[in-house]
Structure 1
Amino acid sequence: IGCFRLGLVATIKDRANEIYKKVEDQKPLRGRNQDAILAACLYIACRQEDKPRTVKEICSVANGATKKEIGRAKEYIVKQLEVEMGQSMEMGTIHAGDFLRRFCSHLGMSNQTVKAAQEAVQKSEELDIRRSPISIAAAVIYIITQLSDDKKLLKDISLATGVAEGTIRNSYKDLHPHASKLVPSWYAKEEDLKNLCSP
């Protein structure tokens, strides 16, 4: 049901089951929260299949397992799989663009606004912004919606993305100086960018 609620394809469910079968008999996992183990397998499967979900999104279908428990189970499972394979495990790099469309959809943004946000996120990859891709996606949404008629509140963006308001603010601070490079010129003029609230 978790896969269904997260809009995931059957191959991810199969891979998550495969990972679970490999680790379910491991002694150190006994006594751990089973929901956290299952959730961690799902998180890893999503990453491997290039359909990443945030730990927070996985949490929402994890029957009460906490982020911390899922995080710990994930680290242990990755270590176990690496020992078994005799090499480090490839989980695929995550990019802000992997999450953006879904976040925009949760916020009910218009097609034009989504298109502008996607272009901005692509340009953000050229900058040396040391923030998580999820925080960058959230900050880009904030910038783009501030320049639209349908402004989104920080708290709504925080709810839709699972990124804390303070974290979005800090990422916004980092992105703000580059707004003219990030925001597509067809979407907003230089003049409009001056109206962006200062970080």
Structure 2
Amino acid sequence: MIRNYTNDCDIKCSLKSCNTFPTITDSERGEVFCGNCGTVLLEKISELTHENNRNNQEEFMKLTRTGPATSLTMHDRGLSTTIGINKDATGKALPSKTKYEFNRLRAWDQRSKSRSTFALSKAFTLMNAMKGKLVIPENIVEAAAHTYRKVVNAKITRGRTIASLVSASLYAACRENNIPRTLEDIAKAGNVEKSIISRDFRTIVKKLELNVTQYNTTSFISKISNDMKLKEKTKRDAFDILKRCEKENMTAGKHPVALAAASLRIACTINGEKVSQRKISMASGISDVTIRNRSALIRKMLKINI
């Protein structure tokens, strides 16, 4: 007898001789069967893929089977019901009586939502706005949304603003995936003070036990040089200078962005590329004094005469 299982169930054949054989999935027939005896273990598998890569809304409504993909960046994960415009399936306007009923249903649908739903909606709206300002990939925003949901479940939101927690979650996601975005960039995009984001970030890392590593300094060299449109030779020389600094154990305890900016400053001087220290400071967000001090230290330790 064929049994129906949930997707989370670990499906195995009941015969002992089949324990070492894998199961085979037939996506066309929607069945899972044993790789040894051929017994059908699961039938009527629900479709988990999404076909939302359509050119326009009309093609999507005609050809899609499963609807749009769910996302953690939406407060309801894209699963809630939305009462749309006052038109029927053929595009004709609804009668006045029916329109009044749907307006009442729409109003009660909004009123029935909990405060947590409104808070999540506000937080993810802000997160999507910051994504455009910071030019962050979609997978990083998904990771940040996942972190923020864990923050809400851990009840860390009391006494803290939504903007600061969203900014701290984005910074944590960037750190985990080595996306070069500094605290200054996050603070500017979220309109939150840097010290507040730093405080909330430390709290999130401690409470959620996140495994956050230090940034790779080379990623900041690429970011700064691309923003300033420097030559490829200058970028490669900056990489070499940074590698020599790592061999001399000069990077420990130093700000990674400051080291990247100083390496680029020295590489520009070596290659005769006329870039002022002020421009590098504005592109990296590091003060002129810090860049000057780090450049002097690198030249002294590596014995670079320029």
TM-score bucket (shorter structure): 0.7 to 0.9
- Extract structure 1 runs of 4+ deviating beyond 4 A: 25-28
Q: Return the letter of the residue paired with 2:280.
A: I
Q: Which runs of 5+ in 1 are unaligned?
A: 83-88, 181-192
Quick check: 1:61 aligned with 2:177?
Answer: no
Q: Return the letter of the residue paired with 2:198.
A: G
8 Å Cα contact 2:167/2:197 also seen in 1: yes
Q: Return the letter of the residue paired with 1:59.
A: A
Query: Where does 1:27-106 land on structure 2 (aligned, <5 Å)?
Result: 27=155, 29-62=157-190, 64-82=191-209, 89-106=210-227
Most deviating of 70-79 and 19-28: 19-28
Structure with the larger RCO, 1 or 2 (CA within 8 Å, 6+ apart): 1
Most deviating of 126-135 and 9-18: 126-135
Q: Which has the higher helix share?
A: 1
8 Å Cα contact 1:100/1:137 also seen in 2: yes
Residues 169-198 of structure 1, C-alpha deviations (whole Å, 9 max, x = no match): 221121012445xxxxxxxxxxxx53x2xx
1:139 aligned partner: 262
**Distance in 2 between residues matched to 1:28 and 1:51, nearest whole Å:** 25
8 Å Cα contact 2:205/2:212 also seen in 1: no
Q: Which runs of 5+ in 2 are unaligned?
A: 1-128
| Structure of higher CA gyration radius | 2
Cα deviation, residue 52, structure 1:
3.6
Please tell me the root mean square deviation across aligned C-alpha atoms, in Å. Answer: 1.9
**Distance in 2 between residues matched to 1:26 and 1:66, nearest whole Å:** 24
Going from structure 1 to structure 2, the CA distance change for 1:166 and 1:77 (only over 3 Å counts) comes to: same
Identity percentage over the alignment? 26
Query: Where does 1:49-198 land on structure 2 (aligned, <5 Å)?
Result: 49-62=177-190, 64-82=191-209, 89-129=210-250, 130=252, 131-179=254-302, 194=305, 196=306
TM-score when normalising by structure 1? 0.80
Cα deviation, residue 60, structure 1:
2.5
**Distance in 2 between residues matched to 1:155 and 1:15, nearest whole Å:** 35
Cα deviation, residue 78, structure 1:
1.1
**Distance in 2 between residues matched to 1:96 and 1:156, nearest whole Å:** 19
Going from structure 1 to structure 2, the CA distance change for 1:52 and 1:108 (only over 3 Å counts) comes to: closer
Cα deviation, residue 27, structure 1:
5.0
